[in-house]
Structure 1
Amino acid sequence: MDSGVIEGGLNVTLTIRLLMHSKEVGSIIGKKGESVKKMREESGARINISEGNCPERIITLAGPTTAIFKAFSMIIDKLEEDISSSISNSPGSSKPPVTLRIVVPASQCGSLIGKGGCKIKEIRELTGAQVQVAGDMLPNSTERAITIAGTIQSIIECVKQICVVMLESPPKGVTIPYRPKPSGSPVIFAGGQAYAVQGQHAIPQPDLTKLHQLAMQQSPFQQIPSNQGFTTTMDAAAQTSHEMTIPNDLIGCIIGRQGAKINEIRQMSGAQIKIANPVEGSSDRQVTITGSAASISLAEYLINARLSSEATGLASN
């Protein structure tokens, strides 16, 4: 299936998620929302922009492929226009390429990269765009960012090629979408729900709640009753420890490059995780997880999900 088939022969409904800086989003929305309204009317695509006063926001494009790529082209044109106007205000500067990020489920990144990087190399050569798949998942999600840079036409062609791969290799398992958050919001769990604390308010976080519930379903620990009030992931009063063993040959996929994966699991779960040194004659490593019942079960779930990905050849260290 080539990109021509995507545009013409199949009436496929696509969803593309773009991760953008707030300033770029403001330009796309336009004064009183006029710019985004025009994009919706002319393309026929559904264009949804995430709420919130965050440094980053998500723009979701959904609809038939022709509508999606029309809307996408209009967004790229707008970004290019902004680059041109900023250059004209500072003469002598060289014009940078248009750069944007799309967000995709991590389980599809293996297909996008291909064996030994062959697929992503093919996409780069075919489209002329620079493409980089992030090695780590975005915070509190199972999605990764793909950064694309180049001319308007090369970026559009590159996204079409990525869409072909994504249609041919649907996501596996549960996808927890990335939702940009104001930086530094502590997370608390109460009554089986996750909340981010922002000032005096606790804002429900459905994505984290889903992850937390998945962990609790598979956990040997009892969930703390909600009538005991809020329990933070770092609640010292309810600290406990849990040990698990992981085969030596799989420990690398848990640790990740320079400890990136294990740090990500620590950050998402709020648990302390210690990996014992190898023991002579043993084919396993001891992993000790310390924290509240909720944070331990979340850490254990994330470790098992990582092991499961490795077993099916999807994990990328």
Structure 2
Amino acid sequence: MDTGVVEGGLNVTLTIRLLMHGKEVGSIIGKKGESVKKMREESGARINISEGNCPERIITLAGPTTAIFKAFSMIIEKLEEDISSSMTNSTATSKPPVTLRIVVPASQCGSLIGKGGCKIKEIRESTGAQVQVAGDMLPNSTERAITIAGTPQSIIECVKQICVVMLESPPKGVTIPYRPKPSGSPVIFAGGQAYAVQGQHAIPQPDLTKLHQLAMQQSPFPIAPSNQGFQAGMDASAQTGSHELTIPNDLIGCIIGRQGAKINEIRQMSGAQIKIANPVEGSSDRQVTITGSPASISLAEYLINARLSSEATGLAAN
């Protein structure tokens, strides 16, 4: 390990943000959090992990550089271990490199790339790691992802060099950090269970399953028999239909919520598209159109009705 970096004035407090997939994070946290606890204790770095209901999560390492690089190398070792163990049952002969993504303010990417790409070329050549700076910012942020791939040693060296550049040219203006969104993934219902689709995986969603079962029992609308096709799971989106509801103007607010929070929640939970028509002059009602698969329509209707009934009982109580 090159101590020259530390002696060269890098022994300061640093923050590194890593962007990882849920599965990788699960491995870093370990059973009952043992793995991440060990990393915190042995490195002395602060390690924070963002909310768990997202397909992507942010791991923030903060502390003195020595502590951070220790924590960082422990994370890389863990990822390397996972690749090795996945290789034992695989027929592939060549081992894939460890790949990591770090998140940095877009305003610092220019310094990292250098004039005509000279800085990033120098980092690639001196460390032997592959480094790619994303062209676009991450959604709803002013940060970009930098993907680094290679051997554990080359990645550690590469991140050190990136940290040096970032310390030399601090971010300009206000940085809006990237926050991964909860999976707005499609929800499918199969065999009475709800699943969220993430990439190739269907992840059981017990909370949605409960709602779905309630919706099936209480839905005031008959569910189309084509719902049986849901056993196949993925063809669910093919059976789209639409349904219209009429809602009194004075109750529409409780369904939309503050800045659309409630309606977005209903959209996300049900997987249906919900359009609320503009108020029509002379009418005291608003038209709401729900589009989606039979199950998602019924779930959206159930959630809307649940909101209306809780609002009605709330009004009665006042």
TM range (shorter): 0.5 to 0.7
Q: How far did residue 27 of structure 1 move?
A: 0.2
Using the TM superposition, name which of 148-157 and 194-203 deviates more.
194-203
Q: Percent identity?
A: 93
The alignment of Structure 1 onto Structure 2 pairs a total of residues equal to: 317
SS of 1:227's equivalent? helix
Q: Deviations over 1:176-220 (max 9, x none)?
A: 000000244999999999999999999999999999999999999
Q: Deviations over 1:276-308 (max 9, x none)?
A: 999999999999999999999999999999999
- Cα distance, 1:184–1:316 mapped onto 2, change above 3 Å: farther
Using the TM superposition, name which of 65-74 and 298-307 deviates more.
298-307
- Cα distance, 1:42–1:255 mapped onto 2, change above 3 Å: same
Aligned partners of 2:10 and 2:164 also within 8 Å: no
Aligned partners of 2:186 and 2:271 also within 8 Å: no
SS of 1:111's equivalent? helix
Using the TM superposition, name which of 225-234 and 3-12 deviates more.
225-234
Q: How far did residue 26 of structure 1 move?
A: 0.2
SS of 2:189's equivalent? strand
Name the counterpart of 1:46. Answer: 46
The CA distance in 1 between the partners of 2:264 and 2:213, in whole Å, is 21
- Cα distance, 1:290–1:29 mapped onto 2, change above 3 Å: closer
Q: How far did residue 269 of structure 1 move?
A: 24
Q: Deviations over 1:252-274 (max 9, x none)?
A: 99999999999999999999999
SS of 1:132's equivalent? strand
Aligned partners of 2:267 and 2:300 also within 8 Å: yes
- The alignment's TM-score, normalised by the length of structure 2, stands at 0.58
- Cα distance, 1:312–1:44 mapped onto 2, change above 3 Å: farther
Using the TM superposition, name which of 16-25 and 209-218 deviates more.
209-218
Aligned partners of 2:13 and 2:62 also within 8 Å: yes
Using the TM superposition, name which of 131-140 and 223-232 deviates more.
223-232
The CA distance in 1 between the partners of 2:161 and 2:312, in whole Å, is 27
Q: How far did residue 4 of structure 1 move?
A: 2.0
SS of 1:313's equivalent? helix
The CA distance in 1 between the partners of 2:17 and 2:142, in whole Å, is 14
Q: Deviations over 1:66-114 (max 9, x none)?
A: 0000000000000000000000111344210000100000000000000
The CA distance in 2 between the partners of 1:217 and 1:6, in whole Å, is 64
The CA distance in 1 between the partners of 2:314 and 2:222, in whole Å, is 33
- Cα distance, 1:149–1:23 mapped onto 2, change above 3 Å: same
- Cα distance, 1:118–1:201 mapped onto 2, change above 3 Å: closer
Name the counterpart of 1:19. Answer: 19
Aligned partners of 1:16 and 1:102 also within 8 Å: yes
Using the TM superposition, name which of 31-40 and 182-191 deviates more.
182-191
The CA distance in 1 between the partners of 2:20 and 2:272, in whole Å, is 31
- Cα distance, 1:197–1:271 mapped onto 2, change above 3 Å: closer
- Cα distance, 1:191–1:75 mapped onto 2, change above 3 Å: same
Q: Deviations over 1:129-180 (max 9, x none)?
A: 0000000000000000000000000000000000000000000000000000
Using the TM superposition, name which of 214-223 and 49-58 deviates more.
214-223
Q: Deviations over 1:223-252 (max 9, x none)?
A: 999999999999999999999999999999
The answer for unaligned runs of 5 or more in structure 1 is none
Q: How far did residue 51 of structure 1 move?
A: 1.1
Aligned partners of 1:176 and 1:211 also within 8 Å: no
The CA distance in 2 between the partners of 1:200 and 1:288, in whole Å, is 31
- Cα distance, 1:95–1:227 mapped onto 2, change above 3 Å: closer
The CA distance in 1 between the partners of 2:23 and 2:39, in whole Å, is 18
Using the TM superposition, name which of 229-238 and 162-171 deviates more.
229-238
Cα RMSD (Å) of the superposition? 14.1
Using the TM superposition, name which of 17-26 and 287-296 deviates more.
287-296
Aligned partners of 1:136 and 1:144 also within 8 Å: yes
SS of 2:311's equivalent? helix
Using the TM superposition, name which of 131-140 and 224-233 deviates more.
224-233
- Cα distance, 1:75–1:206 mapped onto 2, change above 3 Å: same
- Cα distance, 1:95–1:119 mapped onto 2, change above 3 Å: same
Using the TM superposition, name which of 261-270 and 7-16 deviates more.
261-270
Q: How far did residue 15 of structure 1 move?
A: 0.2
Higher helix share: 2
The CA distance in 2 between the partners of 1:264 and 1:189, in whole Å, is 18
SS of 1:173's equivalent? coil
- Cα distance, 1:52–1:268 mapped onto 2, change above 3 Å: closer
SS of 1:315's equivalent? helix
Name the counterpart of 1:313. Answer: 314
The answer for unaligned runs of 5 or more in structure 2 is none
The CA distance in 2 between the partners of 1:308 and 1:169, in whole Å, is 56
Aligned partners of 1:17 and 1:104 also within 8 Å: yes
The CA distance in 2 between the partners of 1:24 and 1:277, in whole Å, is 45
SS of 2:234's equivalent? coil
